Amino acid sequence: MIHLIAGIVTVVLGVWGIIAWWHDFGEVLRGLIPLLLVLGGLAAVGAGFQKTLRETENENVEKPGDGAPAHPAED
């Protein structure tokens, strides 16, 4: 119950702060959005690069049935 009350109080104070300092909030937001877009883009490029590397490594691994014997021949 204490978490619910603390959450409601925090939301109310946050909304009040945004309304009271709207101009300052807008300046911070205008500065953060481009930064977050750049960081998000870098994360997406890194994830795509890692996926491409994993797919390339998986293609280079020799699989049974590709001419390699699955089990060694018994004598």
Sort residue 65 into left (φ over 0), alpha (ψ -120 to 50) or beta: left
Residue appearing with tokens 């890692």: 50
- Cα 74 from Cα 71, distance rounded (Å): 9
Can you give the residue ranges of every domain in the chain? 22-58
Q: What is the pLDDT of residues 25-62, one digit of tens each?
A: 889 999 999 999 999 999 999 999 999 888 888 877 76
Please give the model's pTM, rounded to 2 decimal places. Answer: 0.55
**CA 29: distance to chain centroid?**
20
